[in-house]
Amino acid sequence: MAKAKKTEEKINLDSILFKCRDILRAARNSGSFFEKRDMMLTLVFLRFIGEKFEDGVKKLRQNLIAQGLDPDDEEIFAAFFDDATFTDGTYNLPVEARWSTIINTPAPGLNVALDTALHSIATSSKQLKGCFVEGTFTTRNLAANDIKKIVDEVNKISHKAFGEEKDLIGRVYEYFLKEFAVNATKEEGEFYTPHDVVQLIAAMIEPFDGTLYDPCCGSGGMFVQSADLIKEKKGDISRINIYGQEKEPATYRLAKMNLALRGISHNLGEEADSTFTHDLHKGIYFDYIMANPPFNLKGWYDENLKNDSRWQDYTTPPESNANYAWILHMLSHLRANKGVAGFLLANGALGDSDTVEIRKKLIEKDKVEAIIILPRELFITTDISVTLWILNENKEGGEYHGRKLRNREDEILFMDLRTWTENPVKNANKKKVELIDTQIKKAADIYHAWQSEGTDGANYAVPELYRSVNKDTIKGQNWSLVPSKYIEFIDHDLDIDFNVEMSRIQAEMRNVLAQEKQSQKMLEDAFRGIGYGIE
């Protein structure tokens, strides 16, 4: 009898994290959702920074051999490896901080070894200091068997195996938000922006040089994913300077960790703090802004913000909701006559009655360039409908990234992508879709064609997809930015020939009745036959 072939289990990121999650759930002293998440993210950080160091050493050895030098010679080793310098963002790690040291540590000593690694990194690298909480593992003090199991699982997470991940730290972050969502409150801003949404924003505003800012940068995913796109388009991440701010200390550390892991130069300020009450980049103006602020954030207001300069030319945003506070904050940081911002807000911001005056002034001052409603199912961690806003400080036209733009003053482009749901994400816990590259390109092409010379804005429209609208039309709708008020909706029922349709329905009904009569006659004949046989 032939032996059945053993099915090899496919290693994927979710299966590894699922095992780690179950270990942490069952483990004694594993802590809260945030402590479990941060412990896992710190381990993934140590794993990846350690692997990058090992790759850097291997590459350095190969370069020395290519130059005819012996890397194992004591003098050569001392000169090149004792204090190795790497040019690609790889960090030189002390022996106790290397992953090879951690993975070979016996289980009873792992908690101490991990915290020793963190302390060593914090004291030897100014850039990496502040990326994590020292004492994380000895404070939790997981049982030797539990911490060993988790470290062994994390050891499987290699950039060689998961190189396709655009933002691996962000993916781990998203996973734990999703799996422990019962403790991740939406008002705390615990949202991870999917890669396809970041790609859409970047494709629209093209942040390929100059300065890029995110006032609520979360885990830094916008920056990491944008950096990947910049490399794909231009190949030189050094052409853009990154600035950000984050309120939550744990998420601030996560962003620093994420950016350091990728070797991305950044300025997130010296501390975690509220963008509204303590703007760490006050007085700095940026070429690009990309953001996904917490939707409908409450509790943002402080009495000291009443006469804040950011809304001096408008009115103070409602205390009950921070949506327009985010808009005016970002607008205050856009470079004059040049800056472009692409950010996400809940759909309610398009027509809130208590923000009409601010919205009116934004439109009158010609700050709004495009409003794009997105498919509802793009996000895992929220069911709120979402809109992409684009603000532009230069709608007069001119050169922009090799394109000649026309004057778009007093025009706004509306797009409705809610029907773009034909690409479901497999194995998701809830209904989720994604925008694929061809869809992202199509949306960006619609926007860029509208901007370009030769386009007639007055007649730029496709029913149920997009339409360019002038300021007077929007004024007639009481300054609403709800796309459905402007994009033509086709009543498909009008295309129906009702006489033909009724004839078809009546024919079908006659057919059904005839079949029912035939079935009834066959049953009656059968029963009569049975009765005759009995007699």
Average pLDDT taken over every residue of the chain: 84
The string of DSSP letters for 462-481 reads ETTTEEEEEHHHHHTTTT--
Predicted TM-score (pTM) of this structure: 0.78
CATH of the domain spanning 182-485: 3.40.50.150
Strand ranges, E, within 433-512: 461-462, 466-470
Note the pLDDT tens digit of each residue in 63-103: 888 888 888 888 877 777 777 766 666 788 889 999 999 99
Query: Is 5 or 281 the better-scoring residue by pLDDT?
Result: 281
| CA pair distance 404, 336, nearest whole angstrom | 19
Q: What is the pLDDT of residue 450?
A: 97
Note the pLDDT tens digit of each residue in 235-276: 567 778 899 999 988 788 878 887 877 778 889 998 999 999
What confidence category does residue 5 fall into, taking pLDDT thresholds of 50, 70 and 90? very low
**Region label for 397, one of left (φ > 0), alpha (ψ between -120 and 50) or beta (otherwise):** left
HEC per residue, 84-134: CCCCCCCCCCCHHHCHHHHHCCCHHHHHHHHHHHHHHHHHHCCCCCCCCCC
Calculate the alpha carbon distances from 262 to 90, 167, 200, 293 in Å: 8, 9, 22, 23
Q: What is the pLDDT of residue 324?
A: 97
Residue type, 88: D
Burial class (CB in 10 A: 0-12, 13-18, 19+), 292: buried
Calculate the alpha carbon distances from 252 to 68, 128, 249, 448 in Å: 45, 13, 5, 34
Residue written as token pair 């993934």: 44
The Cα angle at residue 375 between residues 372 and 378, in degrees rounded to 5: 115
Give residue limits of the domains in the chain: 13-164, 182-485
The Cα angle at residue 160 between residues 58 and 192, in degrees rounded to 5: 125
Q: Measuring CA to CA, which residue among 49, 147, 65, 32 is closest to residue 100? A: 49
CATH topology of domain 13-164: Ferritin (1.20.1260)
Q: What is the pLDDT of residue 250?
A: 79
Helix (H) or strand (E) holding 330: helix 323-332
Note the pLDDT tens digit of each residue in 107-161: 999 999 999 999 999 888 877 877 888 888 999 899 999 999 999 999 988 776 6
**Summary count for the chain: helices (H), strands (E):** 16, 12
| CA pair distance 481, 414, nearest whole angstrom | 8
Q: Measuring CA to CA, which residue among 248, 265, 242, 210 is closest to residue 393? A: 210
Tokens at residue 213, please? 């800012």
The string of DSSP letters for 396-425 reads S-EEETTEEEPP-TTEEEEEE-TT----BP
Reduced to 3 states (helix: H, G, I; strand: E, B; else coil), residue 345 is: strand
Note the pLDDT tens digit of each residue in 438-482: 999 999 999 999 999 999 999 999 999 999 999 999 999 999 999
Tokens at residue 199, please? 């790609």
Q: What is the pLDDT of residue 505?
A: 61
Q: What is the pLDDT of residue 189?
A: 41
Note the pLDDT tens digit of each residue in 309-338: 999 999 999 999 999 999 999 999 999 999
Per-residue b/e over 481-490, b at no fewer than 16 CB within 10 Å?
Answer: bbbebbbeee
